[in-house]
Amino acid sequence: MTAWLKASIREHPARWGWALNAAFCTLVAAVLSLAMRAGLDPAYFATSYGIGFSIHAFNLFAHRHGPAWLPRWAAETVATACGMVLGLALGGVLLDGDPLFLLGSNAFLVIGVLLSGAGLAGSIAVERLWEVRNRLERARRDALARDKALAEAELRVLQAQVEPHFLFNTLANVISLIRTHPDRAARLLERLTSLLRASLSRTRRADGTLGDELAVVRSYLDIQSLRMAGRMTFEVDVDPGLETVPMPPLLLQPLVENAVLHGIEPSPAGGRVVVRAERSHGMVRVLVTDDGIGLDPDTAGQGLGIANVRERLQVAFGEGGRLALSETPGGGVSAELRFPAAPAAAAEVL
C-alpha cells in the first residue's frame, strides 16, 4: 500500500495536491464551524474552500510563472495573500451574492488570516519534506553509482591479478610436457586458447551471462584436469534456458578455483568437481561441489576470493544475492551461490 501511494504521488503530484488541499480545508471548516456555531455551517465550508483553493491556485501560478528574481518565500507569501482575498470574495458571492460580504467581517478576516497562515506553513513544510526526500534519493543513486564504479574497478584489478598468474602457471605446465607428453601439451594449449578466448570475450562486454561464466569455468576445469593427469574429473550441469540469465563476471570462477586449488589438488587421491545450475523459486542456484580435503576450520570462508564474491554479490543484487559454504558428507566442500533470475538485477549494476 505504501509503495502504491508513493508511486501514485510521483505520477500525479497535481491531483494529490488538490486532494490534500480539499481534505485540509474540510477539516478546518468542520473544526471552526463546530467550535463557533455548535453545528456544521455552510459559510465556514464556503470560506475554507474558497481560501484554500485560491491559495493553492495562486501558489501553482507563482511557482510556474513567477519572476525568477523574486525569492520563493516572497512569491508564496504574495500568492497566499492574494488567494486569501480572492477566497473571501468568492465565499461572499456564494453566501450572499456580494464579494464584500466576508471581506467586511472582522471575524472572517481573522479566520482567513489564520487559515492562510496554516496553509502556507503546511505548504512550506511539505515542500521541505519533499526536498529532503529528493536529496536522500539523489544521495542513494550517487552511492549506487559509486558502488558500481568501485565494483567495476575491483573487477578489473581482480582480472589483472588472477588471469596472468593462472596463465603463467599453465604455460609452465605446457613447457614441461612438450618433451615428455607432447599430446597432453597440445591438448593443454588448446584448452588454454579456449579459456583465453572466452575470457577476452567476457572482458569486452559491459554485461555478462551465466553462460559466459560457464564457458570460462569449463575451459578452466579442462585445463586443471589435464594438468593433474587423471587425478581430477568434473561435471557441469545446467538447466535449460539458464545460460542466458544475466550474471556479473567473476562470481563463479573463484568458487571453482577454490574447489580445485584448496579441495582437489592437495588431496592425495584427487577428486571430482561438480558445477550445477538450476532455477529455484525465481532465483538462480549454482552449486560448486568437490569431494576434496574439506574446509580448513581456521580460514573457512575468509579468503580474498570468497570475500570478493560476497562483496560483489551485495553490490549487484543487495539482499537478493547470497553465498553459503558448507562441508559435504564424506568430505569436501559445497559452495552455494544464489541470485535473482530477473534480468534487470545484474544488468543494471554490472
Q: Is 161 among the domain residues? A: no
Asked if 257 and 309 sit in the same domain, the reply is: yes
- CATH code of residue 198: 3.30.565.10
Cα gap 177→182, rounded to integer Å: 6
CA R_g for the chain: 35
How confident is the model at residue 20, as a pLDDT? 74
Does residue 150 form part of some domain?
no
One domain, residues 339 and 245: yes
Residues 189 and 313 in one domain: yes
pLDDT tens by residue, 247-273: 888 788 889 988 998 889 888 888 999
Are 90 and 187 found together in one domain?
no
Domain boundary among 139, 169, 189: 139
In a shared domain, residues 48 and 187: no
Residue 211 counted as domain residue: yes
Identity of the residue numbered 113: V
Indicate whether 114 belongs to any domain: yes
Domain assignment of residue 163, yes or no: no
pLDDT for 350: 43
How far is C-alpha 66 from the chain's CA centre? 38
Orientation of helix 13-37 relative to helix 42-65, angle to 10°: 150
Kindly report the pTM of this predicted structure: 0.51
Which of 60, 217, 33, 42 has its CA nearest to residue 115?
33
**Cα separations (Å) of 297 from 18, 202, 288, 293, 302?**
64, 35, 19, 12, 10
Q: Which helix (H) or strand (E) holds 126?
A: helix 106-180
Q: What is the pLDDT of residues 312-333, one digit of tens each?
A: 788 788 888 899 999 888 788 9
Helix and strand numbers, DSSP H then E, in the chain? 11, 5
Residue where a domain terminates, one of 123, 139, 155: 139
Q: Phi-psi category of 230—alpha, beta or left, where left has phi over 0 and alpha has psi -120 to 50?
A: left
Query: Are both 91 and 196 inside the same structural domain?
Result: no
Q: In angstroms, what CA-CA distances link 178 with 116, 169, 226, 268, 328? A: 91, 15, 13, 25, 38
Question: Between the CA atoms of 102, 105, 108 and 114, what dihedral angle is there, to the nearest 10 degrees?
Answer: 120
Instruction: Give the integer Cα–Cα distance in Å for 92 and 50.
Output: 9
Domain encompassing residue 296: 181-349
How many folded domains does the chain comprise? 2
In a domain, 152, yes or no: no
Residue 173: what pLDDT?
Answer: 73
Place of cell 574429473: 233
- 201 with 135, same domain? no
Residue 147 lies in a domain: no
Residues 336 and 192 in one domain: yes
End-to-end CA distance of the chain: 31
Q: Establish if 111 belongs to a structural domain.
A: yes
- Residue spans of beta strands (DSSP E) within 52-115: none
Q: Do 92 and 13 sit in the same domain of this protein? A: yes
Co-location of 61 and 200 in the same domain: no
Same domain, 242 and 343: yes
CB 77 within 8 A of CB 113: no
Q: Which residues of the chain have pLDDT under 50?
A: 1, 157-158, 160-162, 343-350
Residues in contact with 339: Cβ distance below 8 Å, sequence separation at least 6, in sequence order? 247, 251, 283, 284, 313, 316, 317, 320, 321, 322, 345, 346
CA distance 228 to 207: 33
221 with 340, same domain: the answer is: yes
Residue 237 identity (one-letter amino acid): D
Q: What is the mean pLDDT of the chain?
A: 75
pLDDT of residue 153: 52
Helix (H) or strand (E) holding 44: helix 42-65
Q: Look at residues 139, 169, 194 and tell me which one is the last residue of a structural domain.
A: 139
In the chain, helix, strand, coil percent, each to 5? Answer: 70, 10, 20
**Dist. CA 72–CA 281, nearest whole Å:** 52
Query: How big is the CA angle at 66 (ends 63 and 69), to the nearest 5 degrees?
Result: 115
